[in-house]
Amino acid sequence: MVSFGWIRNGVQVRSKSGGGSRRLSVPVTWKKADLLEKAIQLFFAENPNDKELETCTILDFKHHEFDDDLTVEKIFDVTKLTYFSFYLSTTTVPEKDKPETNNNEETASDTPTQTSDTLPSIPQVPPNDSEPFVMEDFVQLFTVNDGVNLELPITEEFIIESSQNLEQIKLILHRGHIMNELLEAFKSYSHINIVLEIEMLLPNGQKEAAFDGGGVYRDALCEFWSEFYQRLCTGNTCKIPEIRHDYDESSWLAVARILLQGYKQAKYFPSKLSRAFMEQVLFGTVVSDITESFFNYLGPYDSGVLKKTLDNPEEADISEIIDIMDNLGCKSLINKENVSKVIRDIAHAELIQKSMFIIDAWKTVLRNKITFEDIVDVYETKKINNKNVLE
């Protein structure tokens, strides 16, 4: 499955203007010429001889040209993508090349020429109006000559690719929909070498009166992780991400990228995530005491009973412990001799084993990116307690 978009004069054409994204299946043996022919059929079906097509070409998802002999199969094999976007790139006939009419009093000499001191010519972006926001309104900012920022709308698939010239990405997010929109944006690229700028839209479609000097991005992260805890996690004061049938590997990879980008750019870390879980992700083993994370994961009554049991196993109320362990799926026969080991085994099963699919996905993004010192800083140094507040 591929999609075709249309770029005119460097700006992507939106659906209401005859562009948008057209999804269809194509033979894997197709080459550039075949793709170009199909794109012309899609966007110029009513006028296949339009003069605009004299300079047309087909671009890949990075808006770059590619070899004529590359097949669709080879492109998918090289990029390892499961979905690919091609773009028909056209250029309208410049005004100065069109025949002059009697009503046109301007002459060629009246047209200003660009000198070496003027800014480079860049495509014009459609003005911002009061139209309802659509997903195509997500934009990415590239830096062109002399530091001029050029805004280019991206497709509904949120293709956001890093390149050598990419410095900043601007996302326009809706209040109340931040989690879904951030997930879709971060599904589309795998390189975390960007700076995000966030613009918020209120439910009525109006922009929030705020400039993102860092605070708006942190606000978006706060809303994202608050909803993440509620929808995708289990646990009491510490949270463990929970496997869901509607979240595949790409979804969990996107969450990991959001976590890493937030920590790198804004020093925002979702500290409600279990420390033991994060250590398994980052270091491949649990470094801290897993029972501490386990007790924070359980409710206050259950954790209180188990804490007393670990402190003094000889005085443990085995019947009460059996009730708690049975609710957690314990299959062992518990007695005073093995109760401490069983508690730790259940802790590992609940915090690590049940979420191993998520751990395997997250470690590909986060491992070697966040250090042990960072984890200590998050979970100990900056933990809110009486001692740290007084200090």
Q: Last residue of a domain, which of 248, 266, 284?
A: 266
Residues 158 and 43 in one domain: no
Structural domain harbouring 289? 275-390
Asked if residue 107 belongs to a domain, the reply is: no
* Cβ atoms 84, 61 nearer than 8 A: yes
351 inside domain = yes
Beta strands in 80-136 (DSSP E): 84-90
Do residues 146 and 225 both lie within one domain? yes
Q: What is the pLDDT of residues 234-278, one digit of tens each?
A: 999 999 999 999 999 999 999 999 999 999 888 999 999 999 999
Evaluate whether residue 128 is within a structural domain. no
pLDDT band of residue 104 (cuts 50, 70, 90) is very low
Q: Are residues 247 and 305 in the same domain?
A: no
**Pair (209, 189) in one structural domain:** yes
155 Cβ contact partners less than 8 Å away, ≥ 6 residues apart: 3, 5, 12, 21, 85, 136
CA dist 269 and 262 (Å) reads 7
Same-domain pairing of 206 and 169: yes
Q: Are residues 281 and 234 in the same domain?
A: no
Query: Which one-letter DSSP state was computed for residue 380?
Result: I
Q: Which of 244, 266, 288 is the last residue of a domain?
A: 266
> Residue 63 domain-assigned?
yes
141 is a domain residue: yes
Residue 105: inside a domain: no
CA dihedral in degrees (166, 172, 178, 181; nearest 10)?
Answer: -60
Task: Match 């003069």 to its residue by tokens.
Answer: 51
Confirm whether 119 is domain-assigned. Answer: no
Same-domain status, 378 and 336: yes
My answer on whether 206 and 284 are in the same domain is no
Of residues 381 and 386, which shows the higher confidence score? 381
Clarify whether residues 257 and 336 are in a common domain: no
Q: How many domains does the chain have?
A: 3
Q: The domain spanning residue 86 has which CATH number?
A: 3.10.20
Residue 184 lies in a domain: yes
Q: What is the pLDDT of residues 28-74, one digit of tens each?
A: 888 888 888 888 888 887 776 665 666 788 888 777 888 888 888 88
Summarize pLDDT for 327-364 with one digit per residue, the tens.
Answer: 999 998 988 889 999 999 999 999 999 999 999 999 99
> Of 209, 240, 266, which marks where a domain is finished?
266
From 61, 10, 19, select the one nearest 39 (Cα to Cα).
19
User: Does 72 share its domain with 49?
Assistant: yes
For residue 77, name the pLDDT band (cuts at 50, 70, 90).
Answer: confident
Higher pLDDT, 213 or 265: 265
Q: How far apart are CA 60 and CA 65, in angstroms?
A: 6
Q: Is the dihedral of CA 108, 112, 114, 116 positive or negative?
A: positive
The verdict on 148 and 260 lying in the same domain is yes
Whether residue 79 is found in the same domain as residue 175:
no
Amino acid of residue 71: T
